[in-house]
Amino acid sequence: MKWIFVILLHYVIALVGGHYFTRMVLNLIPVESKSRGIERAGTIIGYLERALIISFIVLNEYSLIGFIVAAKSIARFEELKERSFAEYFIVGTLASTLFAVLVGLFLAYYLGEL
C-alpha cells in the first residue's frame, strides 16, 4: 500500500510541480506573439506529457519519450516556422520534459528499476 502512495505522490509532484516549473521558465522569455489556441490546452497537454514520460521511465521505455516530442512537433509544425514561437515551444517542452524525467528517475530509483 505504501508504494501506491509513493507512486501517486510522484505523479502529483510531476504534474503540478512541473506545471509551475515550466511556467516559471517560460516567464523568463519575452514573447512577442503567443499562439492562441484552445483555452488551457497547453496546460492539459503538459500534464499528459509529464504523466506519459514518468510512465515510460518506470517501464524502462526511454525511447518513447522521443515519440512525445515528435508528436508535439508534428502537431505544431506550421507554427514552428515563426522563430519566436518555435523558441518558446522548445523551451517549454524541454523544461517540462526535464522536470518529468527527474521525477521519473527518482520514482524508478525508489521502485528499484534503476
Q: CB within 8 A of 69, min separation 6: which ones?
A: 93, 97
Question: Stretch 42-57: mean pLDDT, rounded?
Answer: 94
C-beta of residue 14 within 8 angstroms of C-beta of residue 51: yes
What phi and psi values does residue 104 have, to the nearest 5 degrees? -65, -40
Distance of CA 32 to the CA centre of its chain: 23
pLDDT tens per residue across span 82-113: 888 888 889 999 999 999 999 999 999 999 87
Torsion (CA) 110, 114, 65, 98 in degrees, nearest 10:
60
Distance CA(11)–CA(86), nearest Å, equals 28
C-beta of residue 85 within 8 angstroms of C-beta of residue 79: yes
DSSP assignment of 7-21 equals: HHHHHHIIIIIHHHH
Q: CB within 8 A of 24, min separation 6: which ones?
A: none
CB atoms within 10 A of CB 56: 20
pLDDT tens per residue across span 70-89: 998 888 888 888 888 888 88
For the chain, what is the domain count? 1
pLDDT tens per residue across span 30-45: 876 555 667 788 889 9
**Which has more confidence, 39 or 22?**
22
Segments forming the whole domain that contains residue 84:
2-110
